[in-house]
Structure 1
Amino acid sequence: MAGTLDDAFMIHRPALLRYLRARGTSDEAEDLLQDLWLKVLSAGALEADDTLAYLYRMAHNLMLDRRRASMRRKSREEKYQDTIGEIHATPDAEQVLLARENLRAVDQVLASLGAKTDYIFRRHRVEGIAQREIAAELGVTLSAVEKHLQKAYRAVAAMHASFAMTQESEENRETDIERR
């Protein structure tokens, strides 16, 4: 079945949508189809021997890419949550002091990454704004927003690891002093 991709897309759009929905992407099927259409448009008047098979492969690859990105994002956010730790219901004065120091350090780390990364991180993590909305707001790609967030997550995790090592060495020093 020879022809151009854009013609085949328009003819088989409903079938492609059903294909995506049948594979568990019901909520994202329309978005994936839109992404597929943009890829088809960027390909121009590309001709293929079997345009329908080519379109299905493109749709399948987009679906896998989205799923992998979602899994990476989920893993990254879980790691971030692990680094922050649980908040206790009634912290004592020392915990409050440590939390404030930690927050100041996070603020400094985020500020050192640049205004855009700081802004994106706070909009997403503090205000709960979706990455897609932030991308539209700033006029950048979703990938750019994700890269800024990854940069911030890595920096905060490194800072937290350094902070934890400092705390541990202080505790060891105190224990050594008590033993003497």
Structure 2
Amino acid sequence: MSSSGLIQTFMQIRPALHRFLVVRGASTAEAEDMLQEISLRLSTANIGPVAEVRAYLYKMASNQFQLHRRTEQRRARREEDWVDANSAGERDIDPAASAEVRLIQREELAILQTALSKLPERTRWIFMQFRVEGLPQKQIANALEISVSAVEKHLTRAYGEIAATKLLLDGDHDLPRHLKNTGGVS
């Protein structure tokens, strides 16, 4: 198959090659970089006839993945060696979170507490007893004289609110429909 046929087949199976690289452990961005490198190599290299085009392209992807991993390991080793050489054997690593991380954590906790405060009182109380106090669902059900199933429904509602809030914290996402309206549980 000619070089143009290789490129055409590559473009057809590119999504499958991307999944192949991600399954092997590459991040989405790394997989894109590797596929770009393969594309460049296919368009510039003088490749002879190839009998099994798909197998050839998968082998190229596998080789590119291994090359990328070795390069990353060497870079990490060089950085560690540099730190060791320039720190006289003592690394000054502060195990405490930075001020910025602590501020973000406090803001996220406040947002989460606000989300929980919007829950009905009974749902919030059940959630706190189960998650914070560690009480079993059966004991909570007995204390409120409701079924364990009702306790589970309250917990599901609370987890839905937390999941929706987490989606908002993780980015500018709209709430999925199944988390917008979690229904009324009393």
Q: TM-score scaled to structure 1, two decimals?
A: 0.44
> Which has more helix, going by share of residues?
1
Select the structure of larger CA radius of gyration: 2
Q: Of the two structures, which has the highest relative contact order with CA contacts closer than 8 Å and spacing of 6 or more?
A: 1
- The TM-score, its normalising length taken from structure 2, stands at 0.43
